[in-house]
Amino acid sequence: MILFLLLRWATHGAKLLNRRGVVAGLFFAFYGLVRIGLENVRQPDAGLENLPLGLTMGIYLSIPMLAFGLWLIWRGMREPLPPASETPRQAHAPA
């Protein structure tokens, strides 16, 4: 529910839809961050208890997702905004 509210705010409140990749980046970063947090309270998979740095396989798989999301946000916020689209021209009906 929190992820939905965050994305709803990003698209309608902060108007981030015109920044390429930012909304997708928010999804990936938030989802990866929540997965990393939940992996800390989860029991490790059988046979994978001795991974380097004491991390679980879920954390190892979530770190690239978090990094990719942060990269998308960074890239989207760095790019200049696209020019504002003009109001659509009305088609002229033959008289």
Q: Which domain holds residue 32?
A: 2-78
Which residues lie closer than 8 Å to 75 by C-beta, 6 or more apart?
20, 21, 25
Q: How far apart are CA 83 and CA 3, in angstroms?
A: 29
Report the domain count for the chain.
1
Residue 92 in any domain: the answer is no
The mean pLDDT value for 74-78 works out to: 95
- On whether residue 12 sits in a domain, the answer given is yes
Domain membership flag for residue 83:
no
Alpha helices in 14-78 (DSSP H): 22-39, 57-78
More confident residue, 42 or 50: 42
Cβ distance 32 to 66 under 8 Å?
yes
Residue 10, in any domain of the structure: yes
Q: Is residue 85 part of a domain?
A: no
**Mean pLDDT throughout 2-22?**
93
Share of the chain above pLDDT 70, in %: 87
Neighbouring CB atoms inside 10 A of 38's CB total 12
Task: Give the amino acid at 80.
Answer: P
Tell me whether residue 56 is in a domain: yes
Q: Is residue 57 part of a domain?
A: yes
Percent of the chain with pLDDT over 90: 58
